[in-house]
Structure 1
Amino acid sequence: MKAAIVTIGDEILIGQITDTNSAYIAQALDKIGIAVVQLLSIGDDQEQIIDTFARLQNQVDLVVVTGGLGPTKDDITKKTFCKYFDDELIVNPEVLAHVTQLLEGIFKKPITQINKDQALVPSRSKVLHNAVGTAPGMWMQKENTVFVSLPGVPYEMKHLMDEVLLPKIIKNFERPYILHKTLITYGLGESLLAERIEEWEDQLPPAIKLAYLPSPGLVRLRLSARGTDEEILRNQLDVQIAQLKPILHDIVVSYEAEEALEVTVLRILQEQNKTIATAESCTGGKIAATLASVPGCSNNFKGGIVAYATEVKIDLLGVDQNTIEKHSVVSMEVAREMALQAQKKFKTDYAIATTGNAGPSKGDSDASVGTVCIAIATPNEVLVEVFNFGQPREKVVQRTVVKSLEMLHKEILKNVP
């Protein structure tokens, strides 16, 4: 079964907002066995929308549209549905009752005509009840294609997607199984990784496809299996993963499909009842922010210090001024002291420290732009490494964050029973 996702809104095309709806919808459809073959973003123009619908008609089984709905004059999707399906708008009593209750009963506001117009839907549409908003979803079919319209507000779209649309799709369509397994690898580039697993990749069964998903400092290997027998597919994926383990044992961090490295690190720290703190210079607090983004992180992540300026490293963090004068602010020695001081001040088992020249200028050090020193303080020792992550600045910072978490992961694994 094939699907296309269409987002409507001029604000997306001009870069005013980022389209996160398409990613959420695509992931949700993939999990129930629907292959998304196109993602499209188009403007708030009726003819453009109709042309898009016509091109997708009978080319896919499902078109999910998001955006262009709401209590304003740019509510264009319902009118376009009527024109495309040669239909007319009528008041849906259930939607009107819901909108009235929401505004007058919960928000204690008088209902206006604009609000009442939310209850207008194409007469032949099947209404998808929006329990968390005023704009209902719509389901209409033309020949071999079902067109579904969802609100563009993310939390409303997610509610309708999860609670209403997916169950309806599962009930109305026969779908194959699509299963994924993802391995997260660190420390080896895409081309070298491909060379290492070439022989294994060549013997993959036809039902399993491999995708390389590189990003700064890591490569994800995604195995995807498609077929009609879920148990057979799971067994095939398990066999392939088992064959990969001895090949990639030294660089694989996680075999979880969706677990990020920071989640893995904090999960292991939780299991060990250990804690972590950070002392950051060139990364400007991004390691701390990454750890803090994980729900439940407060059990293990105690805090961090952004010691960007040299005087802050000395006065606040407690790095010895003589160490800086002797070795430079970007040095293994300074990184080591930063990690130890963070470990001491926060009374943690582990600490990460970074100092470097992210660019574009050298700052207080003569080290070349792109040079970064990373230190990991553990209960037993301090590991320090020096890297050159090149340019641009954003790449240096991101690679430093990833490499720091990778180094921490390796160190805490040494203490796993």
Structure 2
Amino acid sequence: MKATVVTIGDEILIGQIVDTNSSFIAKSLNQIGIEVNEMLSISDDKKHILDTLLQLQNKVNLVIITGGLGPTKDDITKKTLTEYFEDTLVVNEDVLNHVTQLIEQYFKRPITQLNKDQALVPSKCEVLFNQVGTAPGMWMEKEGTVFVSLPGVPFEMKHLIENEVIPRLIKKYDRPFIIHKTLLTYGVGESLLAERIEEWEDALPDFIKLAYLPSPGSVRLRMTARGKDEDMLEKVLAEKIALLEPQIQDCLVGLEEDDTLQVVLGKLLVKENLTIATAESCTGGKIASVLTSVSGASAYFRGSVVSYATVAKEDVLGISNQLIQEYSVVSTQIAEAMALSVQKLFKTDFAIAVTGNAGPLKGDSNAEVGTVFISIATPKEVFTEEFNFGQPREKVIDRAVNKGLELVYKEILKNYKK
């Protein structure tokens, strides 16, 4: 079964807002075995909308549209759908009562004609009642295609997808199972990883597809199986993963469908009852930001010192000027001093320290641009690795963040015994 997601709104096309609706809808459909083969963003223009509907008619089984259902004159989706289906608008009394109650009781003002017009719907549509907003969703069918129109406000769209659209789709269509399994790897590039597992990948059956999803410092291997027999799909996926894991054991973080390394690391720290802190120079606090982006990070993350300037390394972390003058701020010695100092300051089991030249200028050191020293302080020792992440500046910072998390994660797995 094929679907297309269409977002309507000039604000998307001019980059004023980012379209998050499409990704949510696609993921929701995928979970029930409906494949999205196209995402479109189009303008608030009647002819453009009509042309898009005509092109999609009978090309796909399902079209989900978001946007253009508000009370203002530039919201034309409902009127355009009415024209496309050769229909007329009628008042839906349930929607009108809901809108009236919402405006008069919640917003404490008289209802306007524009608000009342929210209750106008095409006579041929099935109304999808919007309990969290004023614009109802609309379900309409023409020949071999179902058209679903939803408001563009994300929380309203999500409510209707979860409570109205998905249940109807499950009831209406016989769908295949689509199962995803994702392995998270760190420290090995996409091309090297592909070479290493080429023979394993070539032996995958036709109903399993492998996708490489690279990001700075990591590659996610996403396996997707499609078919009618869910138990068989799960069984074969498990068998294939069992064959793959020994081949990538040195870079495998784990089998996690949605978890990033910071989430996996956080779970490990909680499990082992460990704590961590960071001392950051060239990364400017980004490692701390990534760690604390995880809900519940306060259980293991104690704090950070962003010693960006040399004087901060001296005054806050207590690193001697003599050591800095002898080795420079971008060096193994300073990175280790930073790690040990912040570990002591926050009384943690582990600490990550980063110092380097992210560029484009060298700053207070003569080390080559792109050079980064990352130190990990453990309960028993401190060690440092040197990298050159090249340029541009953003890549250096992102790679340093990911590498720091990778190093401490592997160190906990390999050496630490509580």
TM-score, length basis structure 2: 0.97
> Quick one: distance in 1 between partners of 2:135 and 2:317?
53
State the match for 1:113 in structure 2: 113
Q: Which runs of 4+ in 1 moved over 3 A?
A: none
Q: Does 1:278 align with 2:278?
A: yes
Q: For the Cα contact (< 8 Å) 1:265–1:409, is it kept in 2? A: yes
The CA distance in 2 between the partners of 1:45 and 1:351, in whole Å, is: 55
Matches within 5 A, 1:168-187: 168-187=168-187
Secondary structure in 2 aligned to 1:317? coil
When structure 1 is superposed on structure 2, of 1-10 and 334-343 the one drifting more is 334-343
Q: Is the 8 A contact 2:44 2:75 kept in 1?
A: no
Match of 1:371 in 2: 371
Q: Output the CA distance in 2 between the equivalents of 1:228 and 1:12.
A: 37
- Write out per-residue CA displacement over residues 49-98 of structure 1, whole angstroms, 9 at most, x where no aligned residue: 11111111111100111111212222111111111111122211111111
Partner in structure 2 of residue 71 of structure 1: 71
Structure 2 Cα separation of the partners of residues 346 and 114 of structure 1: 58
SS at match of 2:337: helix
Q: Distance in 2 between matches of 1:384 and 1:76?
A: 60
Q: 1:110 offset after TM fit, Å?
A: 2.5
Partners of 2:109 and 2:283 in 1: CA distance:
47
Q: Which amino acid aligns with 2:372?
A: V
- Deviation per CA, 1:12-47: give whole Å up to 9, x if none: 111111111111111111111001100111111111
Query: Where in structure 2 are there 5+ consecutive unaligned residues?
Result: none
Tell me: CA distance 1:369–1:172, structure 2 relative to 1, closer, same or farther (3 Å).
same
- Equivalent in the alignment of 1:217: 217
Q: For each residue in 1:137-158, what CA deviation from the matched residue of structure 2 results, as whole angstroms up to 9, or x when unmatched?
A: 1111111000111111111111
Larger CA deviation: 235-244 vs 314-323: 314-323
Q: Which residue identity does 2:369 align to in structure 1?
A: V
> 1:416: Cα distance to partner?
5.7
Write the distance in 1 (CA, Å) between the matches of 2:77 and 2:318. 60
Counterpart in 2 of 1:312? 312
Q: Is 1:6–2:6 an aligned residue pair?
A: yes
Once residues 417 and 261 of structure 2 are traced to their aligned partners in structure 1, the CA distance between those partners, rounded to angstroms, is 16
Deviates more, 1:284-293 or 1:238-247: 284-293
Tell me which moved more, 141-150 or 308-317.
Answer: 308-317
The answer to which of 322-331 and 226-235 deviates more is: 322-331
The CA deviation string for residues 251-304 of structure 1, in whole angstroms up to 9 with x for no partner, is 010211111100000011111111111111111111111111111111111221
Match of 1:153 in 2: 153
Deviation at 1:109, TM superposition (A): 2.9
1:318-337 alignment runs, 5 A limit: 318-337=318-337
Unaligned runs of 5+ in 1: none
Structure 1 counterpart of 2:55: 55
Q: Distance in 2 between matches of 1:133 and 1:108?
A: 15
Amino acid at match of 1:144: G
What code does the residue aligned with 1:66 have? T
More deviation, 56-65/378-387? 378-387
CA-to-partner distance for each residue in 1:366-412, whole Å, 9 max, x for gaps?
Answer: 11111111111111111211111111111111111111111111012
Distance in 1 between residues matched to 2:343 and 2:56, nearest whole Å: 58
Q: Which amino acid aligns with 1:212?
A: Y
Taking the aligned partners of 2:319 and 2:90, their CA distance within structure 1 comes to 72
Task: Tell me the SS of whatever aligns to 2:303.
Answer: strand
Distance 1:358 1:380, change over 3 A: same
Q: CA deviation at 1:250?
A: 0.6
Q: Aligned equivalents of 1:7 and 1:256: distance in 2?
A: 30
What is the correspondence of 1:15-164 to structure 2 with a 5 Å cutoff? 15-164=15-164
The count of corresponding residues between Structure 1 and Structure 2 is 417
In structure 2, relative to structure 1, the CA distance for the partners of 1:356 and 1:127 (3 Å cut) is same
Which amino acid letter does the alignment assign opposite residue 279 of structure 2?
Answer: A
1:7–1:42 contact (8 Å) kept in structure 2: yes
Query: For the residues of structure 2 that align with 1:409 and 1:399, how far apart are their CA atoms?
Result: 15
2:90/2:123 contact within 8 Å kept: yes
Asked whether the 8 Å contact 1:254–1:261 carries over to 2, the reply is no
1:182 and 1:144 mapped to 2: Cα distance?
34
Residue 360 of structure 1 is matched in structure 2 by 360
Looking at structure 1, the residues matched to 326 and 69 of structure 2 have their Cα atoms a distance apart, in angstroms, of 64
How far off is 1:134 after superposition? Answer: 1.3
* Equivalent residue letter for 1:128: L
Percent of aligned positions that are identical: 63
Aligned pair in 2 of structure 1 residues 291, 109: CA closer, same or farther (>3 Å)? farther
Asked whether the 8 Å contact 1:362–1:368 carries over to 2, the reply is yes
Partner of 2:347: 347
Alpha-carbon separation, structure 2, partners of 1:23 and 1:398: 24
Q: Aligned letter for 2:116?
A: K
For the structure 1 residues 416 and 43, does the alpha-carbon distance in structure 2 shift closer, same or farther, using more than 3 Å as the test? farther
For 1:174-197, what per-residue CA distance to the aligned partner results, in whole angstroms no more than 9, with x for missing partners?
110000101111111111111100
Q: Is this contact kept in 2: 1:68–1:74, CA < 8 A?
A: yes
- 2:275 and 2:293 mapped to 1: Cα distance? 16
Within 2, Cα distance between the matches of 1:323 and 1:131? 65
Measured after TM superposition, the shift of residue 107 of structure 1 is: 3.0
